[in-house]
Amino acid sequence: MDFFTLIQGQLGFFLLIFVRISGIFMIAPIFGSRNITGRVKACLALIITYIIFPLIFNSHTPIPEQFLPYFFMVMGELIIGLILGFVSSLIFSAIQMAGQLLDMQIGFGIINMLDPLSGQQAPLIGNFKYILALILFLAMNGHHVLLSALFASFKLIPVTGLVVNVAIAEFMINMIGNMFILALKISLPVIVSLLLTDMALGILARTMPQMNIFVVGVPGKIIIGIFVLSIGLPFYIFFLELAFDGMYKNVFHLLSFFYSS
């Protein structure tokens, strides 16, 4: 049978695959960037759908002919893609949150930059850490891992095979809570050093009341914060490698979680 004839005969199955791939391309790192236009994302999703369609096609999969049941199937496939993209983007949200905390402590809280990837205002240090994390993500072939996870999702969760499990909510809540913990771990060295600096400035203000601590403290905190941040960059990169490994495990664990349901 000709491949185009196969697609024409199973257009509903083809569109369900396309919807799941489009879902992960909406919010996943790199693929969900605002720099990539909607047409490019749609064409890329269509190409990937065209490639993997013969590999996962199952003629025994029932495709309803009525609009409403098919609409619910489309929404189910979209939810799977969105969940995969959301889980993979949580670590980058934690990095931006850590940058926001650092900017407030160092004194860059009123300085924001336009993040070209998200199209939103981002903190100065947070944007720097975010771009560095994206570079490391590409260097570690994280986008390849996401594509392999997307392909594995069709093996573990067949098309029209989504089963809603209440325990998924607990899993997602734990991941969001871990995001806040991760943001605190990233910003902890600089926060501790600035806390010690505030304590030293407070002692200095008590011993030398005639000194204007505000004039000395603001540039001093900026210098100390940037100094500690520059020293901690190698550790930050090593920490990101561990965090990305955890992200990959979470993505595949989520797939196995769907499969076990």
Give the pLDDT score at 2.
Answer: 53
In the chain, domain spans: 3-260
The mean of the pLDDT values for the chain is 78
* DSSP per-residue string spanning the chain: --HHHHHHHTHHHHHHHHHHHHHHHHHSTTTT-TTS-HHHHHHHHHHHHHHHHHHH--TTS---SSHHHHHHHHHHHHHHHHHHHHHHHHHHHHHHHHHHHHHHHHT-TT-EEEETTTTEEEEHHHHHHHHHHHHHHHHTTHHHHHHHHHHHHHHHS-TT-----THHHHHHHHHHHHHHHHHHHHHHHHHHHHHHHHHHHHHHHHH-TTS-HHHHHHHHHHHHHHHHHHHTHHHHHHHHHHHHHHHHHHHHHHHHHHHH-
Residue 96 to residue 124: CA distance in whole angstroms: 10
pLDDT digits (tens, 9 = 90+) for 198-231: 888 778 777 777 777 666 677 777 788 888 888 8
Q: From 244, 110, 86, 104, select the one nearest 172 (Cα to Cα).
A: 86
Residues 127-144, mean pLDDT to the nearest whole number: 82
Confidence of residue 35 (pLDDT cuts 50, 70, 90): confident
Confidence class of residue 103 from pLDDT cuts 50, 70 and 90? confident
3 pLDDT above the threshold of 70: no
Spatial distance between the Cα atoms of 197 and 206, rounded to a whole number of angstroms: 14
- 25-29, 30-34, 119-123: the lowest-pLDDT one: 119-123
- Please enumerate, as own/partner, the contacts of 176-183 that have beta carbons within 8 Å and a separation of 24 or more: 176/90, 178/90, 179/90, 179/91, 179/93, 179/94, 179/97, 180/94, 180/97, 182/91, 182/94, 182/98, 182/243, 183/94, 183/95, 183/97, 183/98, 183/101
pLDDT of residue 112: 60
Q: Looking at residue 261, what is its pLDDT?
A: 46
* Each residue's pLDDT tens digit, 148-198: 888 888 887 778 776 666 777 788 888 888 888 888 888 888 888 888 888
pLDDT tens for residues 50-79? 888 888 877 777 777 777 888 888 888 888
User: And the tokens for 134?
Assistant: 């994206």
